[in-house]
């Protein structure tokens, strides 16, 4: 478990702001309860925003996500893992390719696809097993778009629902990309370039304008 408790380059759990956030939001009598409290803090305090420039390594880094008060799935998963380690709970990052059947027209136009490769989530080591937790979509966003919010009890995996609140097809898991002690940013960016050529053809200035 040593590597899942130590700070990484992107899961930078030793950063003083990470430590302070973890101390503020970690509560409960055991590791499971503390992991649950951290999950809800990262899920709802940090706004989900998929309109980021993925060329910038900062969008994958826990402390940068915390400073920005926003992040996409990988950045928020890194932040939750970092907070977990700061609280003494082993954690790592898991990845999967998913198809979002409810992708917004703006996001699908920007990315040129409803396939999202290297979707990120956090894995806690609790009660002798790894448990998945997905802190991506904050509660306010879920309520706005009628997506079922993901709850987490520290015992069962918390992954995207296949259907939304209106029983429309939502998220489909297609491929397991494995689990890592730190975010494999170079590999993710390589696969992003292959999968989203339309986005990468924009150039940095156009991307900044697009993503604001």
CATH for 80: 3.10.620
Q: Provide the token pair at 32.
A: 């499971």
Tell me how many domains the chain contains.
Answer: 1
212 belongs to a structural domain:
no
Confidence of residue 171 (pLDDT cuts 50, 70, 90): confident
| DSSP secondary structure letter of residue 28 | S
53 belongs to a structural domain:
yes
80 belongs to a structural domain:
yes
- Whether the CB-CB separation of 154 and 59 falls below 8 Å is answered with no
133 belongs to a structural domain:
yes
175 belongs to a structural domain:
yes
Smallest CA-to-CA distance from 125 within 179, 76, 71 is with 179
Residue 178 Cα distances to 32, 94, 112, 120, 145, angstroms: 23, 6, 25, 10, 29
State residue 207's pLDDT score.
Answer: 43
- Residue 92 pLDDT > 80, yes or no? yes
Tell me the average pLDDT across 12-28: 97
200 belongs to a structural domain:
yes
Tell me the average pLDDT across 157-169: 73
Domain extent for 75? 2-161+169-204
74 belongs to a structural domain:
yes
Lowest mean pLDDT among 16-20, 128-132, 156-160, 165-169: 165-169
185 belongs to a structural domain:
yes
């Amino acid at each position: 478990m040593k590597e899942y408790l130590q700070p990484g380059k992107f899961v930078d759990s030793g950063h003083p702001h990470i430590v302070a956030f973890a101390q503020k939001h970690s509560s409960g009598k055991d590791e499971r309860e503390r992991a649950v409290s951290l999950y809800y803090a990262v899920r709802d305090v940090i706004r989900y925003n998929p309109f980021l420039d993925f060329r910038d390594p900062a969008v994958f880094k826990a402390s940068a996500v915390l400073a920005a008060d926003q992040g996409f799935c990988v950045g928020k998963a890194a932040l939750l893992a970092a907070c977990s380690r700061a609280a003494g709970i082993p954690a790592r990052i898991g990845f999967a390719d998913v198809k979002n059947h409810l992708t917004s027209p703006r996001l699908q136009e920007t990315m040129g696809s409803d396939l999202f490769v290297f979707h990120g989530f956090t894995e806690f080591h609790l009660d002798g097993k790894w448990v998945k937790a997905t802190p991506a979509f904050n509660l306010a966003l879920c309520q706005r778009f009628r997506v079922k919010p993901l709850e987490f009890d520290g015992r069962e995996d918390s992954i995207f629902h296949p259907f939304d609140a209106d029983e429309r097809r939502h998220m489909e898991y297609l491929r397991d990309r494995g689990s890592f002690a730190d975010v494999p940013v170079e590999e993710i960016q390589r696969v992003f370039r292959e999968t989203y050529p339309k986005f990468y053809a924009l150039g940095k200035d156009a991307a900044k304008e697009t993503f604001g």
